[in-house]
Amino acid sequence: MRMGGGFSRHYLKGGFYTMKNLKGSEVIPENCLRQVRLQAGLSQGELADRAGVARQTVGGIESRQYGPSLAVAFRLASALGKKIEDIFQMPDIIPDEVPAVWSGMGQFPEVGEKIQLARLTADGRYTAFPANRDSLQIEANATVVGIGSSKERLLAKILEPEGLTAPAVLLAGCSPALALLKQRLNNHYRDVSICWINTNSMASLQALAKGLIHGAGVHIYDEETGEYNLPIVKRVLQHTPHMVVNLCYGEQGFVVGRGNPKGISGFGDLCRQDVRIVNRELGAETRRLLDSGLKQNSLLPSQVAGYNFQVQTHQEVVQTVALGGADCGISLRPLARLYKLDFIPLTRERYDLVFLLEDLEKPGVQAILDCLQKHNFLLALEASGYDPESTGKVLT
């Protein structure tokens, strides 16, 4: 009979069953039958007699050669004075298709499009977001097979179930410093699953406000107050209790070819006929920085070739310049260094992490906060071109 989308239960001779996972492998329930039996002071034969089953049945179940039928599980549990769930724990079953809420990051996908899926909670809530294309590859673990009427929900077919067996801590933001953080967590906090969604600061903050992620990385300058992050965080989250902690400081500036072949030194050069730029999407702090620089120099976007040529991440900006698709873009010093491009600094920014207070006790969030205090992580930030002078400092 069919179970839970993607799993079949097979009753075998002797009343046992196994389950088939998405790849056709047998999945047998975990059990603590031996421990409970020994606590009761019973041998395998004595338990078998009480439950009305063969001794070999008890031995086979304890060694997980096979799983019990529901009737056998009930007999064994009753003989030991326990509930079935006290002894037998079914593995977390991942269906082959699951409903998910779209994160709001990027354009809503079409049917057939590959996406990245992350498990938000233990009870099976999923968040969907765009597939990662930063390395000129597509990293996806699901594909869209249905779309809700509101275009906020979708039905996804799971392609790679391995990373979805337990909830992950979802961290969104566009700073590559988050990649360093994720790498550190994966290497040193093996019991925690971290998923980094590379998207702009505003999209990250809005997803956090909707409860679709656990942490948002932000670098948003507020022109009214002259302050980074805290004013916009307060406006978006309003009265939702939250905490802001510093990740690092970094620089944004013009990224140009090695040796700066076009001689670009300021915003005025972006209006030259021989210069083409690559831009970021609306909502990105980089886009605001460009618009602000043009305005301060009495320049119009229509004067800039490539203004409407938009990409979604800092990495894509630098890759575009490195591959000759643009002469200039605004991005981060560490990425310019990585791609061996020249960097002309424009501003020093503060990158912060924002968490909802209701999530602070989650093991993954605790691991992030702990990692921010580690000396080796601070060294890794510094070696990559970031300033860790306030890393881990709680700001609100």
Q: What is the DSSP string of 68-83?
A: E-HHHHHHHHHHTT--
The pLDDT of residue 122 is 72
Residues 127 and 70 in one domain: no
Residues 378 and 267 in one domain: yes
Torsion angles phi and psi, residue 363, rounded to 5:
-55, -40
Q: Are 221 and 301 in contact (CB under 8 A)?
A: no
Here the CATH number for the domain that contains residue 49 is 1.10.260.40
Rounded to whole angstroms, how far apart are CA atoms 163 and 114? Answer: 16
Rounded to whole angstroms, how far apart are CA atoms 357 and 373? Answer: 19
Here the CATH number for the domain that contains residue 245 is 3.40.190.290
- Triad 212, 132, 326: Cα angle to 5°: 125
Q: Show which of 89, 120, 148 is a domain's final residue.
A: 89
| 70-79 vs 55-62: helix crossing angle, rounded to 10 | 100
Strands 277-280 and 328-332: parallel
The pLDDT of residue 1 is 24
Rounded to whole angstroms, how far apart are CA atoms 205 and 112? Answer: 28
Residues 328 and 254 in one domain: yes
Residues 244 and 347 in one domain: yes
Q: What is the three-class DSSP state of 391?
A: coil
Rounded to whole angstroms, how far apart are CA atoms 392 and 395? Answer: 9
Residues 135 and 173 in one domain: no
Rounded to whole angstroms, how far apart are CA atoms 371 and 366? Answer: 9
The pLDDT of residue 281 is 93
Residues 79 and 128 in one domain: no
Q: Show which of 108, 137, 166 is a domain's final residue.
A: 166
Q: pLDDT tens, position by position, for the chain (396 residues)?
A: 223 333 333 333 333 334 444 444 455 677 899 999 999 999 999 999 999 999 999 999 998 887 787 778 888 999 999 988 789 876 556 778 889 999 988 889 999 999 999 888 877 789 999 887 554 445 789 999 999 877 789 999 999 887 787 788 899 999 999 999 999 998 888 788 888 999 999 999 999 999 999 999 999 999 999 999 999 999 999 999 999 999 999 999 999 999 999 999 999 999 999 999 999 999 899 999 999 999 999 999 999 999 999 999 999 999 999 999 999 999 999 999 999 999 999 999 999 999 999 999 998 999 999 999 999 999 999 999 999 999 999 999
Q: What is the three-class DSSP state of 294?
A: helix
Residues 120 and 50 in one domain: no
> Alpha helices of 143-297 — where are they, by DSSP H?
177-188, 201-209, 230-237, 285-296
Residues 27 and 145 in one domain: no
Which residues are paired to 349 by β-bridges? 250
Q: Are 156 and 337 in contact (CB under 8 A)?
A: no
Rounded to whole angstroms, how far apart are CA atoms 112 and 40? Answer: 55
Domain count, the chain: 3
Torsion angles phi and psi, residue 370, rounded to 5:
-65, -40
Torsion angles phi and psi, residue 116, rounded to 5:
-105, 135
- Triad 285, 289, 293: Cα angle to 5°: 170
The pLDDT of residue 161 is 82
Scanning the structure block, which residue is given the tokens 């072949």?
261
Q: Show which of 117, 147, 166 is a domain's final residue.
A: 166
Residues 252 and 143 in one domain: no
Rounded to whole angstroms, how far apart are CA atoms 394 and 247? Answer: 10
Q: Which domain holds residue 308?
A: 168-396
pTM of the model: 0.74
Rounded to whole angstroms, how far apart are CA atoms 328 and 342? Answer: 10
Residues 149 and 224 in one domain: no
The Cβ of residue 315 has, within 10 Å, a number of other Cβ atoms equal to 23
Residues 85 and 98 in one domain: no
Residues 195 and 59 in one domain: no
